[in-house]
Amino acid sequence: MSDQSPFPGNGGDVQRLKAEALGEPGQRRFRIVVAVLGETFIIWMEKQQMQALGIAIDQVLRQVTGDAPLFDGASVPIDFDEDTSNQFRLGRVELGYEETGEHIIINAYDIQDDESGNGLTMRLSRSQARELVQEAAALAAAGRPICPMCGSAMDPSGHVCPEQNGHLPLPKDDTLVDTE
Q: Which residues of 160-174 are buried (b: 16+ CB within 10 A; e: fewer)?
A: ebeeeeeeeeeeeee
Is 5 among the domain residues? no
Q: How many CB atoms lie within 10 A of CB 145?
A: 11
Does one domain contain both 167 and 139? Answer: no
Q: Which residues of the chain have pLDDT under 50?
A: 1-6, 8, 170-172
Q: What is the pLDDT at residue 2? A: 41
Residue 45 in contact with residue 97, Cβ under 8 Å? Answer: no
34 and 98 part of one domain: yes
Count of the separate structural domains present in the chain: 2
Q: Is residue 32 part of a domain?
A: yes
Is 70 in the same domain as 151? no
Provide the b/e sequence for 20-47 (b: ≥16 CB within 10 Å). ebeeeeeeeebbbbbbbeebbbbbbbeb
**Tell me, what's the pLDDT at 142?**
84
Task: Identify whether 122 is part of a domain.
Answer: yes
Does residue 121 lie within any of the structural domains?
A: yes
CA dist., res. 59 & res. 174, Å (int): 51
Using CA atoms, how far residue 120 sits from 64, 87, 153, 174, in Å, is 23, 11, 32, 62
> Are 173 and 115 in a shared domain?
no
**CATH at residue 74:** 3.30.2450.30
pLDDT 10s digits, 103-118 = 999 999 999 876 676 7
* 6 in any annotated domain: no
Residue 173's domain comprises: 147-180
3 state DSSP class of 92: strand
| The overall pTM is greater than 0.95 | no
How many CB atoms sit inside 10 A of residue 58's CB?
Answer: 17
Same domain, 173 and 86: no
Q: Are residues 54 and 107 in the same domain?
A: yes
Residue 2 domain-assigned (yes or no): no
Quick one: pLDDT at residue 78? Answer: 76
Tell me, yes or no, whether 106 and 159 share the same domain.
no
Q: Looking at the structure, do residues 88 and 133 belong to the same domain, yes or no?
A: yes
Q: Are residues 21 and 103 in the same domain?
A: yes
pLDDT at 4: 46
